[in-house]
Every structure is written in structure tokens, then in C-alpha cells.
Chain A
Amino acid sequence: MRFLQELGCYFILLKKVFSKPEKSSIYYRQTMHEMVYLGLNSVGILSVISFFMGSAITLQTAYNTENPIYPTYLIGLGCRDSIILEFSSTISALILAGKVGSNIASEIGTMRITEQIDALEIMGVNSASYLILPKIIATLLFNPLLTLISITVGIIGGGLAGTMTGVITPQDFIYGIQYAFIPYYITYSIIKTLFFAFIITTVSAFQGYYVTGGSLEVGRASTKAVVYSSILILLFNVILTQLLLS
């Protein structure tokens, strides 16, 4: 029953979010600000994680395929497909749910308990739209770019780790990452990223927007935002994989 109530509140909030903005120029400025705050500021951490994950994937693939019947270029292929299909979209989304999701929930939650949202409403501003819509647009525009950066850095990390440890030659790795390449996988990865970006932003904003109480409740909302976003990301990963790859 409570789940249905929360689901209803979530969709009512979305309706408010997607109503006509008061002044487009202000929303444009906010969107640019959110692109820097939520997107550009995530490039560093995502690049570092992607680099090391790419390295680990390459080494694990190499140590699990130590068989003369497998050509070594398959290590590059395995690294490429793991990163494109799963890591750069799904795992990155889980990382962003932790970083961006908790950030959104605590920011909006703090605004709620300090009456800043009430102040917006009193001025006649649609607070849900003003606070949440720019974040949704910013993540929908920027997260695919983050995915592409993650793919690139992950594959570079894999290549460097593979060649530096001597499990694969640079030529074989490059051949492997080009072998049997299916461009649709990139599209698939970006479609998943768009869904995940929407989930992270709206679920986290929902948790923050309806928070009541004090700082303890804001902390709880932040944790809930990460947990619910992560579960939904994994659920939609299964659904989208079945729909897009079957």
C-alpha cells in the first residue's frame, strides 16, 4: 500500500517537473550549471575507476583464457565487450547513483527542511520544475558523454595493463578490440545510460523533495536515493538487455 502511495507521489512529482517552465533563460542557465556540477565534476572519478576496471578486466580475461586454442586477441575483444556492454553503462551508473544521486537528494532535502523550497513556492515558482528539470536535462545530455569517456579510458587502461604485464602484445590487443566489432553495442550502451540517468536523477530528487524532519532524515533520504536508484538500475538493466539485444 505504501509502495503504491510512493509510486503515485513519484508520478505526481514528475507531472509537476515536466510542466511549462516559468522562464526558459533561467532554466537554460540552471541546466548549464548542473552540467558542470553533476556531469563535468564526475569525469575525474569515472575516468579513474574506468581505467582500473579496464585493467582488471583485461588481466582477469587473460588469466582465465590461458589456453593455446584461444587466440590472445580475444583478451582485447573480451575487454572491449565487457566495458561497452556492462561496465561503462551499468557499473558507471551505479557509481553515479552513489555520487550524483546522494548529492541531489541531500541538496534538495536540505532545501526542503530549511524552507527554501517553500520560499520558491511562495514566489510563485514551480519548485519541482525549477530544481529537478535542469538536473534531468543535464544528466540526459552529459551522461552519454560520460559513458563514451568511460569506454575510451577503460579500453586504454585494459590495453596498458595487458601490455605492461606482458599478457598480450599491443598489436594483438588492438586487433582484438577491432575484431567482430558491432557498432550497435555502443547505441545499446547509450540507450541504457539515458534510462539510468533518468532513474538516478528523478528517484534521488523524489527522495529529497518529500523529506520531512531534520538533518537525520536528509541523511536517510540520501541513503534511500542510492539504494532505490541502484536497485532500479539493475532491474532496468535486465529489462533493457532483453528488449535491446534479444
Chain B
Amino acid sequence: MIRVKNIDKSFSGKIVLDNVSVSFESGKTNLIIGRSGSGKTVLLKSIVGLHNIDNGEIWYEDVLFNRLNFTDKKEIRKKMGMLFQGSALFDSMTTEQNVRFPLDMFTNGSMEEKLERVNFCLKRVDIFNANKLYPAELSGGMKKRVAIARAIALNPQYLFCDEPNSGLDPITAILIDELIKEITEEYSMTTIVNTHDMNSVMEIGEKIVFINEGIICWEGSKHDILKSDNEILNDFVFANSLAKQLRSSQK
């Protein structure tokens, strides 16, 4: 479980996160939703330690992560996998080398063992015959899949996904969402996904946290979200005309 307690974060005096407290459950796909600029990415990057928070506490199980020194943080980070918005694959490495990188860095297995693991991870995300391709030669969906394969190479305990289906067509987006959910269940990971895509919310959201202007406005499940009387949340959830029509027809 990951717990965030009373965290504040500001950039050049502008408050981006204001006294945020939330917990993310193990073995579940936790979603952080909100409009662009609401503070989702800053919250996610603060949780993983890419941003130093101004105040508050971030707990990974019983470890107070934000007070650890660089070396101790590294130990927790070895248990993390992250899928970035732009995939963040290493341009100079092939697909195979990208997935092998964490294995090269942190394991002492033979090359055969590492390649076996690489092929297993690539197969798990349905990537075939692309071992020798560079990121520039892959489609957007393939890049996301390879990034997931790299993220799970070391069997992480925590998976973080920042806008995993941004820039993807609806079908590929659903496939990526399903993949994240399957992997979360398969490895009993604590997964946190940042998204503003309502399809993702309805497909994979087990616990949903709605953030608006740096403040947590609502928490609940995908079943609760449609029944909420929170106006700001409803403006977000029923933003498009199709959703609005459905809602008015339900009423």
C-alpha cells in the first residue's frame, strides 16, 4: 500500500498540490483522474520521488519514502516500474536492449537468462519479432507495450502509469488499459494510473481519486462515480455530449 499524507507542492510560489492525503491499495488499479493542469502528474511524480515535496509524508508500506537518502530511495525504486506519457524508451537502444536494461543493471544472471526474461516480458505484452527494432521504428501503441515490458522486467511491486493511453486510438487504448489491469492482478502490484480518459476509468478503475486544482475532491469506485453528486466531478465525468445525453436520458 502507498499512503500520501498532507503533501504540499508548489512551483515558484504557485501551489500545485494543497494538503493532499490519499491511500492506494495493493493489488488494485488505482486511478488518479482530473483535468489537464489539475496536478495529477505532479502528484504521481511526487509519489515516485521525481519531485521533492514541500511538506507531508509519502509511505511505501511501513517506509517513509520522502525522508530516505538517495541510496535507500534506490532500494525502493528497484521495486517500481513506471510507464511514462511519452513511453520514455531509450532512443539509442533496441527494443530488446530497452527491456534488458534494468536486468543488466540490477541482476547478475547470464545473458541467456536475461534474454529469456526479455522475451517473456515482450511476449506478455504481445510484442513479437521486434527485438531488434529501435523506438523510432515502433508505433505509439507498440512503444507503450515495450515500456510496460521494461517496467515489469524486474517484477516490480509498484507500477505507475502516467497517461498510458494518450495519443492512442480507442481500440489500442483499451488494449493497453486491459494489459495494465491484467498485469496488476497477475503480479499483485499496487498500480497507480494517471488519466483523464473516462473510458479507462470505466474499464479498469477499481479505486478512483479525483483531483481538481491540487485538491482531492472525491474518492470512490467506478460504480460510485456515475452516482456522485459532486458537481465538479460531474462536470468532468459528463463533459462530452454523448455522456450528457446518457445522463439526461437516465434522469
Contacts and interface: CB of A to CB of B under 8 A. Distances in A.
Contacts of A22: 105-106
A23 B82 contact: no
A116 B88 contact: yes
Contact of B88 (A23, A119, A125): A119
B31 interface: no
Given A23-B104, A26-B104, A122 B80 contact: yes
Contacts of A124: 73-75, 77-78, 80, 105-106
A122 B48 CA distance: 7
A123 B88 CA distance: 12
B50 interface: yes
Contacts of A119: 82, 84, 88, 90
Contact of A115 (B73, B75, B81, B85): B85
A118 interface: yes
B90 A116 contact: yes
A125 B86 CA distance: 20
A114 interface: yes
Interface residues of B, number: 26
A172 to B, nearest CB: 51
Interface residues of A, number: 16
Contacts of B75: 124
A189 B50 CA distance: 43
B86 A121 contact: no
A118 B160 CA distance: 13
Contacts of B48: 122
B102 interface: yes
B104 A122 contact: no
A125 B90 CA distance: 14
A122 B161 CA distance: 12
A123 B84 CA distance: 13
B50 A122 contact: yes
B117 to A, nearest CB: 15
Contacts of B81: 122
Interface string A114-156: 1110110111111000000000000000000000000000000
Contacts of A110: 91
Interface of A: 22-23, 26, 110-111, 114-116, 118-119, 121-126
Across the A-B interface, give the 6 residue pairs with the lowest CB-CB distance, nearest first: A124-B77, A115-B88, A119-B88, A124-B74, A122-B82, A124-B78
13 contacts: A23-B106, A114-B91, A115-B85, A115-B86, A115-B88, A122-B77, A122-B81, A123-B77, A123-B105, A124-B73, A124-B74, A124-B80, A124-B106
